[in-house]
Structure 1
Amino acid sequence: MDSKVKRVVILLCVLMGVTVIGIVILANMDSLRKKKPSATSTVSEVVSVSEEKPELQIGYDLEAWKKDASFFDRESDTLAARILEDMKDLSVKAVSEERNLRVQILDYEGERKTGEAFKIAVATEKKPNDYENYADADKDGVITIDYMEPGKYLVTLLPIDGYTVPDKPTEVVVKSKIEYEFIEDIELLFTEKTEAETRLEDTMVVGAESYADKKQNTSFAKDDYVYGVDLSDKNAVTDFNKIYESGVRFVMLRVGYRGSISGDIVIDETFDEYATLANRAGLDVGAYFFSQAVDEKEAVEEASAVYACCREKNICYPICIRVDQAGGLGRADSLSREDRTKVVQAFAETVKGFGYEPCVYASSNWLKTNLDMRKLSGYRIWMAQFNANPVEDIYYDMWQYSSKGKVPGIDGEVNLSKSFLNN
């Protein structure tokens, strides 16, 4: 197409556009005349529009907060203010074992509140105005009172700046003697030890080693018994599946021990993980606690510690109290036969109350000389004797027959046991 033709086409397009615009204007001329306002009406309309209040919408006025007198009012009834107020709430938990009282101060989440010098007032129910004050000197959120007369008491948390204390006292019964039941605040008694402290405190000695005939078996025999191992943080486990594949069908895991000098309760750091992995591999799991309890009260504490750790685990094998010597320096080494038997009974009865099968572990020599087996006949017995053949004058349900076993999935030597529970 040459330039002349192009110019003609462009011109025609422009003319057509102008024509269309003209037609539109002519068609709307009358309506435009009717809508044309006068100067006066325009002013009045502007005024009327300015006087109209627009419909309120969220975000309509971004500066409305400047006209809100309560915008920065902390005392206003807002969710944030209520939450902040609730966070100041304190509560009291009081527990008695035997002629004592242990009081915890808890925060709004029910956790022990530390770092404050709390004070409590304690009075008997019969004489509520005759009270004694006790202070949380070390600010650990726990106040312990010993040597109390049995009976009903009222515990009042005294006011402290920055917190809201309960408006009524907490009622608690101080027990006259230990009961074979769970101690609700048992975790307060758990202690973590340094490596050096552990060497001094974790001193259980397997008495069976001292009179073994040096002919102990170190492998699994081909018979109908069920084989197992016992494990603690002293054993490095690399693969629980390999343990199962080797022929092992149960594991006895150490929950913890009581320090042979201090008497502190220490939880084995591997228990939780080992119990979970053992179950996953198809192994039956039992548990034991190395006791250094010197009386029934401490035995119930140890049983409560075991329950606190086991209650969310799948424990189908017995739970044992493990009594043996602690190198001659242990706090329980000098217990009489009668007192040690009472300790074992208290532990076993408490465990039984939790719904588990109680069990007693000791070397064959200890079972004969340091425990009254007539009083323990109702419990499972896990006997340690590292001889080729076990003694025949002791009834037992499990026999720990070697301390020098080798099992795939476990680095180093491990204790081996036979179980007759399924026979």
Structure 2
Amino acid sequence: MDSKLRRMAILISMGAILLISVLVLYANRESFSAGGQETLQDGQTVQDSQTVQSIQGGQDAPQAQSAPGGQIGDDLSAFLEDETFFDREINPVLEAARNQENRLSLMVTSVEKDLRIQIVDMSGELVSGESFYVRLDDSEEYKDLDQDGVIYIGGLSAGEYYVELLPIEGYKVPTNETRVRVKDKVEYLAIEDISLLIKTEDEIDAQAEDSGVQDAIEDADSTEIRKLQTATGNSKVGIDVSKWNGDIDWDKVKNAGVEFAIVRAGYRGSVTGSLVEDPYFETNMKGAAASGIPVGVYFFTQAVNEVEAVEEASAVLNLVREYKIDYPIFIDTESAGGNGRADGLDVETRTLVCEAFCRTIENAGYRAGVYGSRNWYNSYLETARLENYCIWLAEYRSIPIYQGYYQMWQYTSKGRIDGIQGNVDMNVSYLGIDE
């Protein structure tokens, strides 16, 4: 009985305490809703006495307050400026690019019992200025003597070879050997990577290298015609041009009656044998095309064998790939003043050079031809072997006395025409090519 009374007394006491607490909270409800804030005379509200004192004292209020957790300030992006905030992650793209720096590779071609090894960077450009060495079949080593990024090895037996670029300080060389095939015979096919060998005149001594001499000048007589002839039948009248003609106004040339133009694509240097693009080639090709003049091209040769003839043809094919070619692509075979690297070739070799050039051009789908003077055809070529190609005769007289077959005739080197300053070569074509 006593225990029941004790429990009832406890419950009554707890109820009384709870009731008193509710009454106290209700009586002070306005004080709790104010949240401890004080209102200033100018209507501004602050949260603590320290802030009130700062404003009343005429000082600027603090810009930031300490917040729970220790945060200082309200700039939540400040951590981005801390390079140590995040763990550094490796960017696979950037890392791959770094791994390609100074990495080298080999481009190897063969024309006939030879190898031309070109050392290139990852952008495909030749790397010059270094003494590179390559090893052939783990035996003989060959050095890039002139440091132009190209090593030529001739006199090889046909078959399979392995080429290794030896380590050189500052570069990453291929870890595996390059397997190549040395061809037994010339196949008269364009060399795909020939563009790496084509130079501009800024890279050579053009005065020494570009030394072609028009042999027909010595054979000219007083009947040489020096104006644009009138075309008859299916013949056409035209000009051939190079850097020596300077800037040309092609619209004036067209209006003067020119019906075609043969543009020099380039030449092989008569001293070093470098393949060089004529500095006016692109300008002349675009100018003639814009004026509606059909074009062909020619290349001054100094090739000393079939391999070099294929190189020259490949260079031309590379240069003309973006243009419409209506007339043949000619190999220009003439003297380089007596001191050219090809001036001393025998008749058989010179004829083989012309054949190799023309076969390579025709295998690429173009019509090929040979340019030479009357004396050159009679004395320095087996012309009968070349008559399947377009024969372009240079003979400066009113009526040619050359007894062989020809389809184009260059009748003067001293022509004058509106749109060109100075002399220009003039021609008649019997090919019957329409615009």
- TM-score range (shorter-chain normalised) is 0.7 to 0.9
Match 2:165 to one of 145, 149, 157: 157
1:192 shift after superposition: 5.5
Measure how far apart 1:345 and its partner are: 0.8
* Bigger mean CA deviation after superposition, 192-201 or 409-418: 192-201
Give 3-state SS (helix, strand or coil) of 2:265's partner: strand
- What whole-Å deviation, never above 9, does each CA across 1:270-314 have from its counterpart, x for those lacking one? 112111111111111111112222221221122122112112222
Letter in 1 for 2:422: G
TM-score in terms of structure 2 length? 0.76
CA distance in 2, matches of 1:135, 1:32: 98
1:61 alignment partner, one of 54, 66, 79: 79
Cα separation, partners in 2 of 1:31 and 1:389, compared to 1, 3 Å: farther
How far apart are the structure 2 equivalents of 1:266 and 1:122?
A: 30
- 1:332 positional shift: 3.0
Q: Measure the CA separation in 2 of the matches of 1:91 and 1:180.
A: 26
Name the CA shift for 1:335/1:66 in 2 (closer, same or farther; >3 Å). Answer: closer
Task: Confirm or deny: 8 A CA contact 2:229 2:237 kept in the other structure.
Answer: no
5+ residue gaps, structure 1, are 1-29, 43-48, 124-129
* Higher mean displacement: 153-162 or 377-386: 153-162
Structure 1 pair 134–197 and aligned structure 2 pair: CA distance change class (3 A): closer
| Offset from partner CA, 1:29-77 (integer Å, 9 cap, x none) | x9965544589xx9xxxxxx83599xxx993633443333x44x8xx34
Determine whether 1:268 maps to 2:268: no
The two structures have a TM-score, normalised by structure 1, of 0.78
Q: Residue type of the partner of 2:158? A: P
Quote the residue 1:114 is aligned against. Answer: 128
3-state SS of 1:220 partner:
coil
Q: Within 5 Å, which residues of 2 pair with 1:82-231?
A: 82-123=96-137, 130-136=138-144, 138-160=146-168, 162-191=170-199, 197-224=205-232, 225-231=235-241
Q: Which runs of 5+ in 2 are unaligned?
A: 1-27, 38-46, 48-66
- CA 1:34/1:160 → structure 2, altered by over 3 Å: closer, same or farther? farther
**Residue 318 of structure 1 corresponds to which residue in structure 2?**
328
TM-align CA RMSD:
3.4
State the partner residue of 1:25: none
Pair 1:78–1:305, CA change in 2 (3 A): closer
Which residue does 1:50 correspond to in 2? 68
Change (3 A) 1:115 1:413: closer
Residue 393 to residue 170, structure 1, CA distance change in 2 (3 Å):
same
Q: Measure the CA separation in 1 of the matches of 2:402 and 2:148.
A: 53
Look up the equivalent residue of 1:252 and give its one-letter code.
I
Which amino acid counterpart does residue 61 of structure 1 have in structure 2? F
For 1:328 and 1:140, how far apart are their aligned partners in 2?
Answer: 28
How many Å separate the matches in 2 of 1:265 and 1:80?
38
Closer, same or farther: CA 394–132 of 1 in aligned 2, 3 Å: closer
Larger Rg: 2
Give aligned pairs, total: 378
Q: Deviations over 1:183-236 (max 9, x none)?
A: 234345445568995444433222222222311222233333311111111112
Contact 2:132 2:149 in 1 (8 A): yes
CA distance in 2 between counterparts of 1:390 and 1:276 reads 33
2:404 pairs, out of 394, 398, 416, with 394
